[in-house]
Structure 1
Amino acid sequence: MTPPRFAEVAEGDQLPTTEYRVTRADLVRYAGASGDFNPIHWNGRFAREVGLPDVIAHGMLTMALAGRAVTDWVGDPGAVLDYGVRFTRPVVVPDDEAGAVVEVTGKVARKLEDNVVKITLTARFQGQTVLGGANALVRLA
């Protein structure tokens, strides 16, 4: 895919919808990379004891997946000037090969100065939004 150019994008343009599959094995790899070994991310019994339905994905992993949709679209991670989200709902990851699917959509919300666009993102799991206020500022060529 050719990276978008500022002159070619318009407010309201949609980013490609992307689905990311998250398995328990992904959670183990993410825990190792991040150092976040909280048992809610790997121990179903513990997760249920603290009131969760089961093991949940790391919030920062979910945030990273939404960010990846932006960097894949723009073609250059260095073009992302700012990125932030609020965590609104957990992604429950079943103990099977299918895992959980996070769907990420986005759109160009505003064109700003200096070839910068504001991207709003929506991340959903089982039809429910899992990230709120997800926005990125991206500088395009």
Structure 2
Amino acid sequence: MSSRSDQPLVPAVWQRHDSEILPLWRDRLCLEMGPTVASRYASGLFFEDRRRPIAQWFNPALNAALLVGIETSAEWPVQRFGLFYAPAQGGVVQVRTTVHEWYTRNPNTPPTADDAFTAAIQSAESFLQVEMDFF
């Protein structure tokens, strides 16, 4: 297993903010899709702020954000973490990476929810590192 020092470092301009989903997500989705469709996007992740755990980074200089959150409905037997990016120029984009999922019928069989969340965070941190190369 690799140590934390082997993992990509998140650029300092990206601040971790996991306590609540930023209003930026709801605002941008409503502009793009309208409030009704936006409220259902990613199983309501951006409107109900109830699906945990989440990991979120915000770049105030760019007004950009990145979120790791559960994107599937709670009733599904396969749960999955998605990565969502709100770029500086506006909008919301789902970042396609390795699938980070677990099976609720076998919660202790790898990959577990913790395994999937850890892997999704690593993907998000790698994405932020690459994204900063473009600025």
TM-score norm. by structure 2 comes to 0.28
Q: Identify, as 1 or 2, the structure richer in helix.
A: 2
Query: Which of 1 and 2 has higher RCO (CA within 8 Å, sep 6+)?
Result: 1
Q: Identify, as 1 or 2, the structure richer in strand.
A: 1
- Which one has a bigger Cα radius of gyration? 1
